[in-house]
């Protein structure tokens, strides 16, 4: 691999869902490692002045729906504009992603994150429900009991907090947020710029 991209994400973000598969494809094409870092976005909002969706002005909420419709059409991805289980408490799901990364590496963690995002935004899944988390992880062939035990450990809880603190120090204020070669990119609509940076890095390394 030529370099790495830090990927600050939450498992309930539609924008993270819309960009997730493309980020992985881009990184693979340009030999970039992705370091997935689930974060507590609620804490990020508190520290950075952001607001959760329910507290945003009506016009902002309305425009968000316009953008979701637009991106659904553009991306071709299945997307429920009003998913049944959103918002949802994604903290256990996030810690499962961290646990899988610790146990089995980034590729498997990215696969789980993708399954979680798809569950929320395309399959009406409740990722706050441990039984549903079990089903998703079983479908990926993960060692479910071991992952869940790790996910509730003090070690993984500390890593989740560390990711969030690191994000704050990196001036993250939303998700998805990518950092490559020290440069931040906020949102899946910045992936074109990130891909150009990946390509430039690959060319320099050739």
**pLDDT tens by residue, 122-173:** 999 999 999 999 999 999 999 999 999 999 999 999 999 999 999 999 999 9
Half-sphere exposure of 159 (CA within 13 A, CB side): 20
**97 has a pLDDT exceeding 70:** yes
pLDDT of 73 reads: 97
pLDDT of 1 reads: 62
Q: Rounded CA gap, 98 and 60, in Å?
A: 32
User: What is the average per-residue pLDDT within 94-104?
Assistant: 98
Of 39-43, 51-55, 92-96, minimum mean pLDDT range:
51-55
CA dihedral 4, 178, 200, 206 (to 10 degrees): 10
User: What is the average per-residue pLDDT within 18-26?
Assistant: 99
| Secondary structure element (H or E) that encloses residue 76, with its range | none
Structure tokens at 83: 């998913």
| Tens of pLDDT, residues 43-91 | 999 999 999 999 999 999 999 999 999 999 999 999 999 999 999 999 9
Topology at the third CATH level for domain 3-205: Glutaredoxin (3.40.30)
CA 131 from chain centre, in angstroms, equals 21
Query: pLDDT-based confidence at 192, cuts 50/70/90?
Result: very high
**5 has a pLDDT exceeding 70:** yes
Query: pLDDT-based confidence at 205, cuts 50/70/90?
Result: confident
Q: Rounded CA gap, 14 and 80, in Å?
A: 9
- Largest alpha-carbon pair distance within the chain? 50
Q: Rounded CA gap, 129 and 116, in Å?
A: 12
Domain ranges of the chain: 3-205
User: What is the average per-residue pLDDT within 30-35?
Assistant: 98
Query: pLDDT-based confidence at 178, cuts 50/70/90?
Result: very high
Give the chain's mean pLDDT.
97
- Tokens 């899946």 belong to which residue? 188
Beta carbons of 113 and 20 less than 8 angstroms apart: yes
**182 has a pLDDT exceeding 90:** yes
**16 has a pLDDT exceeding 70:** yes
Q: Rounded CA gap, 92 and 145, in Å?
A: 13
Q: Are strands 3-9 and 32-38 parallel, antiparallel or unpaired?
A: parallel
pLDDT of 203 reads: 85
pTM of the entire predicted model: 0.96
């Amino acid at each position: 691999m030529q370099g790495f991209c830090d990927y600050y994400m939450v498992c309930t973000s539609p924008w993270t869902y819309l960009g997730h598969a493309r980020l992985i494809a881009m990184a693979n094409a340009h030999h970039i490692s992705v370091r997935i870092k689930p974060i507590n976005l609620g804490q990020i909002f508190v520290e950075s002045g952001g607001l959760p969706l329910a507290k945003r002005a009506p016009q902002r909420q309305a425009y968000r729906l316009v953008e979701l419709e637009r991106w659904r059409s553009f991306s071709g991805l299945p997307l429920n504009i009003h998913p049944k289980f959103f918002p949802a408490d994604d903290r256990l799901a996030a810690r499962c992603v961290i646990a899988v990364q610790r146990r089995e590496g980034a590729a498997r963690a990215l696969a789980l994150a993708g399954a979680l995002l798809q569950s929320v935004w395309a399959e009406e899944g409740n990722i706050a429900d441990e039984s549903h988390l079990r089903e998703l992880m079983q479908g990926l062939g993960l060692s479910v009991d071991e992952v869940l035990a790790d996910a509730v450990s003090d070690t993984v809880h500390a890593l989740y907090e560390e990711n969030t603190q690191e994000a704050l120090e990196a001036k993250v204020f939303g998700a998805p947020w990518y950092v490559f070669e020290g440069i931040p990119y906020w949102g899946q609509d910045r992936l074109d710029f990130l891909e150009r940076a990946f390509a430039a890095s690959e060319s320099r390394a050739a």
